[in-house]
C-alpha cells in the first residue's frame, strides 16, 4: 500500500479473516430488519469501497459481483442489480485509489460522496424501470450518511493493522 502523507507508521498486512469477516458483517448490517427505509447507508457498498481502496489485490470486481448477488438475493430485487452497481463503484474506486489514499479521511469522504450518490441513483433508476416504485426523496440521505460514516469505518477497519507486530517496550520502531 502507498504510504499516505502524514502517516507515521507502516501498516501491517490485513488478516484474511478480518477482511472477509468485515465484509460479512456489512452483509449482516444490510440484513437488519429495519423496514423499507431508503435513507440507510449501504454497508456492503461502503465496505467494498474501503477494501477496494486499501486492498485492491484482495477485493476487486469479482468480490463486488459476489456480494452484489448476495444482496440481490437477500433483498429479493432484480438479480444482478446490486452486483452491477457494486462493480461500477469498485471499478471507480480502483481507478481513483492512488489519488484517494493521499487525502485525509474527511477529504476522502467528500471525494467518494459523488460515487456513493451515483450508486444510489443507478439503483433507483433500475428500481423504477423494474417495478415503477419510487423509494422517496429520503434516498438523498443515504450517500450523505455513507460519507459521514466513512472516516469512522476507516479508523475502525485500519486499527488492527496499526498495532505493532510484537509488544516489546525496547523496540525502537
pLDDT tens readout for residues 48-79: 999 999 999 999 999 999 999 999 999 888 89
Provide the pLDDT for residue 28.
Answer: 94
DSSP state of 9: S
Q: Give dist(CA 13, CA 16) in Å, integer.
A: 9
pLDDT tens, the chain, 173 aa long: 555 555 556 777 788 899 999 999 999 998 888 766 778 899 999 999 999 999 999 999 999 999 999 999 998 888 999 999 999 999 999 999 999 989 999 999 999 999 999 999 998 888 888 777 777 778 888 999 999 999 999 999 988 887 665 666 665 55
Give the pLDDT score at 138: 80
* CA–CA gap between residue 72 and residue 80 (Å, rounded): 7
The pLDDT value given to residue 38: 73
pLDDT of residue 34: 77
Domain residue extents for the chain: 16-162
| Per-residue burial over 141-153, b = 16 or more CB atoms within 10 Å of its CB, e = otherwise | bbbeebbeebeeb
CA-nearest of 55, 141, 53 to 103 is: 53
Using a cut of 0.75, tell me whether the model's pTM lies above it: yes
d(CA 59, CA 61): 7
User: Helices (H) and strands (E) in the chain — how many of each?
Assistant: 6, 0
The pLDDT assigned to 147 comes to: 95
Environment class of 77 (CB within 10 Å of its CB; exposed 0-12, middle 13-18, buried 19+)? middle
Each residue of 93-109: pLDDT tens digit? 999 999 998 999 999 99
CB atoms within 10 A of CB 89: 25
Amino acid at each position: 500500500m502507498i504510504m499516505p502523507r502524514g502517516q507515521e507508521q507502516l501498516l501491517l498486512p490485513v488478516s484474511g479473516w478480518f477482511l472477509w469477516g468485515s465484509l460479512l458483517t456489512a452483509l449482516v448490517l444490510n440484513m437488519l430488519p429495519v423496514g423499507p427505509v431508503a435513507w440507510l447507508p449501504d454497508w456492503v457498498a461502503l465496505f467494498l469501497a474501503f477494501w477496494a481502496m486499501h486492498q485492491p489485490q484482495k477485493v476487486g470486481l469479482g468480490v463486488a459481483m459476489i456480494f452484489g448477488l448476495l444482496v440481490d438475493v437477500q433483498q429479493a430485487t432484480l438479480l444482478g442489480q446490486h452486483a452491477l452497481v457494486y462493480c461500477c463503484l469498485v471499478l471507480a474506486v480502483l481507478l481513483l485509489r492512488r489519488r484517494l489514499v493521499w487525502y485525509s479521511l474527511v477529504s476522502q469522504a467528500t471525494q467518494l460522496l459523488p460515487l456513493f450518490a451515483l450508486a444510489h441513483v443507478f439503483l433507483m433508476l433500475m428500481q423504477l424501470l423494474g417495478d415503477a416504485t419510487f423509494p422517496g426523496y429520503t434516498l438523498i440521505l443515504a450517500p450523505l450518511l455513507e460519507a459521514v460514516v466513512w472516516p469512522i469505518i476507516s479508523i475502525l477497519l485500519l486499527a488492527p493493522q496499526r498495532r505493532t507486530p510484537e509488544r516489546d517496550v525496547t523496540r525502537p520502531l
